[in-house]
Amino acid sequence: MAETPEADAPLARLILALRAQGVTDARVLKAIETTPRELFTPDLFKERAFEDSALPIACGQTISQPFIVGLMTQALKVDRRDRVLEIGTGSGYQTTVLSKVSRLVYTVERYRTLLRDAEARFNALGLTNVITKFGDGGKGWPEQAPFDRIMVTAAAPSEPKALLSQLKPNGILVAPIGKGPVQSLRRYTGDGHGGFEVEALTDVRFVPLLDGVAKEL
């Protein structure tokens, strides 16, 4: 049965809100529009799936606000040929959006429970260009480096040098940087000679990027 206009209305409002806030890249908007956020949202919050707000998920983590997902994806300037490293799989929502604008997404998660659930969602969606790893995201994925693009979805306390070293010379890394409750979302663009142009994009609130992997029962 086809969806009714009423069923489409929350998604349409969300896309209009993202556009109004500056997410204007048509490929990014299409990726968000075709990613069923309700699939990544816990049952308790299903009715809020299309709100432009962050929502709690397991392991004390969150599914990011759609505006921030759109903003970070747009800031990354992903090309369809790019190999992208994502640090912090979480629910898999951001991963799925990235998979729709890139060639391959390598994603690292420190919580085995979150990774297992995200992998089930990727399978349900039929994604074939997402490669997952259970590990310490702060160390990146050196075996698969260098990457065209890197996105960090947890707040690094300072410049993420280990991750920047896994970026191609002209690559781009987007990450929240800072130790406090409010961080600076920054874009690092390689100059081709080992240096980076650094831009502060906006203030954000992310959970901290922690060392190691989580100990789970």
Tens-digit pLDDT profile for residues 204-217:
999 999 888 887 63
Helix residue spans in the chain (DSSP H): 5-20, 26-33, 66-76, 93-99, 112-125, 161-164
Q: Taking 90 as the threshold, does the pLDDT of residue 1 lie above it? A: no
Of 64, 91, 99, 102, which residue is the catalytic one? 64
Is there a contact between 167 and 146 (Cβ–Cβ < 8 Å)?
A: yes
Check if 165 is active-site.
no
Among 62, 61, 112, smallest CA distance to 214 is for 112
Q: Taking 60 as the threshold, does the pLDDT of residue 7 lie above it? A: no
Tell me the mean pLDDT in the region 164-172: 98
Mean pLDDT computed over every residue of the chain: 94
Residues 144-155 have pLDDT tens digits of 999 999 999 999
Residues 41-100 have pLDDT tens digits of 999 999 999 999 999 999 989 999 999 999 999 999 999 999 999 999 999 999 999 999
CA distances from residue 35 to 26, 92, 195 in whole angstroms, order as listed: 14, 11, 35
Q: In order of start, what are the domains of the chain with their CATH numbers? A: 5-204 (3.40.50.150)
